[in-house]
Structure 1
Amino acid sequence: MVASAFDLLVELERLGRDFAADLPAQEDPGETWVGVGFRLGGQRFVAAMTDVAELLKYPELAPIPRTKGWVRGMANVRGTLLPIMDLNGFLGDHASSLTRLSRVLVVPIENAYTGLLVDEVFGMRHFPRESLGEPPAEVDDRYAPFVSGRVEHDGEQWLVFSMRSLIDDPQFLRVAS
């Protein structure tokens, strides 16, 4: 006897359910802290996921006259003008060298955005909440005002970079030379 199209679909659904793998268990969001990992020089940082709107490859820039050396220029990202700042340069270290690993973290500031050039981005990182701790006693003076804590996980230490502290820093807002 020929089965109807409906009967065939029902049988296919049953077979699919019989062989389907279960979805991985969802972690309780209260148990993990999510951040975006990045590198400046040899130091690993992580910023809260809520503080980073987007990650970009280094875009083409138009220069902005009469600004400090750490202001790289202005990018047009999907019709929105985005100033790009060299985070290494702002923190008093040498200007970042552009490599294939260089990325821009897009960070919200009030009703706008700014881009922060970093040496490398490691993507999203999930850490157990209990691994969050106080900043280490010895943090490079350049970074100390912007480090709000640390995360130690799987034998690695990450400094928690506070985008809010950066945005609130009067020196960061003074871009004119």
Structure 2
Amino acid sequence: MSDTGAARRARLREYQEQLLERMQAAKSGSGAPIQQLGLQVGGTRYLLDLLEAGEIVAPVPPVRVPLTVPWYLGLANVRGTLVGVVDLARYLGEDGAAGAGPATRMITFAPVLGVNCALLAERVFGLRQASGMTRDGDALVDADGQRWTPLSLAALVREPRFLDVTQPPEPQ
């Protein structure tokens, strides 16, 4: 066993313990400040609840599914599970599709949401301390003046439009 392997396992164990503490604090309504995952989709920075986000993975080229809406990019195999890949920028009506640059990542939905889906993000910023931000309308502003928009994946999967990826029939 190498030192790097042992160090990696120790970091993973520490991360799991911290995550468990945060989850328990969230359930009890006390304790650790809430941290969220920061990501950029289109021209907007979003904050995702860690309990709603699954894995962050390098983009897997999706296989296009016929007769689906343009924002539904297709199906991708993520660690043996088929997930639907969504271009959230296009879904929200922003111009252009998510770019496939070196920082592009897919964020899968947490299994608890019951939807095998992933969002394409141009960039993942990592954990953000939402409790240290100030509210400005519907957004949060961090100490550097960056605006962050909270995004609930649980609310997203309850939207009928998000769940229906079929292309509407052409008018005759």
Q: TM-score, normalised by structure 1?
A: 0.68
Matched residue type, 1:120? R
Shift of 1:130: 5.8
Aligned partners of 2:134 and 2:142 also within 8 Å: no
Are 2:163 and 1:173 aligned?
yes
Residues 78, 114 of structure 1: alpha-carbon distance in 2 compared, 3 angstrom cutoff:
same
- 1:49 matched to 2:57? The reply is no
- Given that 2:51 and 2:110 are in contact with CA atoms closer than 8 Å, whether structure 1 keeps it comes out as no
1:107 equivalent in structure 2: 109
Equivalent position of 1:116 in the other structure: 119
CA distance in 1, matches of 2:89, 2:147: 20
Amino acid at match of 1:171: R
Structure 1 segments of 4+ aligned residues over 4 angstroms from their partners:
none
Q: Does the Cα contact within 8 Å between 2:115 and 2:157 map onto a contact in 1?
A: no
**Deviations, residues 17-70 of structure 1 (Å, cap 9, x unaligned):** xxxxxxxxx9x8524111110112232111111110111111022221111111
CA 1:60–1:41 in structure 2 vs 1: closer, same or farther (change >3 Å)? Answer: closer
For 1:111 and 1:38, how far apart are their aligned partners in 2?
22
Q: Tell which structure's C-alpha radius of gyration is larger.
A: 1
Q: Which residue of 2 aligns with 1:22?
A: none
Aligned equivalents of 2:68, 2:108: Cα separation in 1: 20
The Cα shift of 1:117 comes to 0.8
Q: Which has the larger strand fraction?
A: 1
Give, as a single letter, the amino acid of the residue that structure 2 aligns with 1:101. A
Distance 1:95 1:42 in 2: 11
Find the aligned partners of 2:132 and 2:103 in 1 and give their Cα distance: 31
CA contact (8 A) 2:139 2:148 kept: yes
Q: Secondary structure at the match of 1:50?
A: coil
Query: Could you tell me how far 1:132 is from its partner in structure 2?
Result: 6.0
**1:153 maps to which of 124, 142, 145:** 142
Cα distance in structure 1, aligned partners of 2:143 and 2:72: 36
Is the 8 Å Cα contact of residues 85 and 118 (structure 2) preserved in structure 1? yes
Over the matched positions of the two proteins, sequence identity in percent amounts to 27
Find the aligned partners of 1:60 and 1:42 in 2 and give their Cα distance: 22
Quick check: 104-113 or 64-73, which moved more?
Answer: 104-113
Q: Deviations over 1:76-102 (max 9, x none)?
A: 112111111111111112222211121
CA distance in 2, matches of 1:68, 1:165: 20
Which residue of structure 2 lines up, in the alignment, with residue 65 of structure 1?
A: 66
TM-score w.r.t. the length of structure 2 is 0.70
RMSD: 2.2
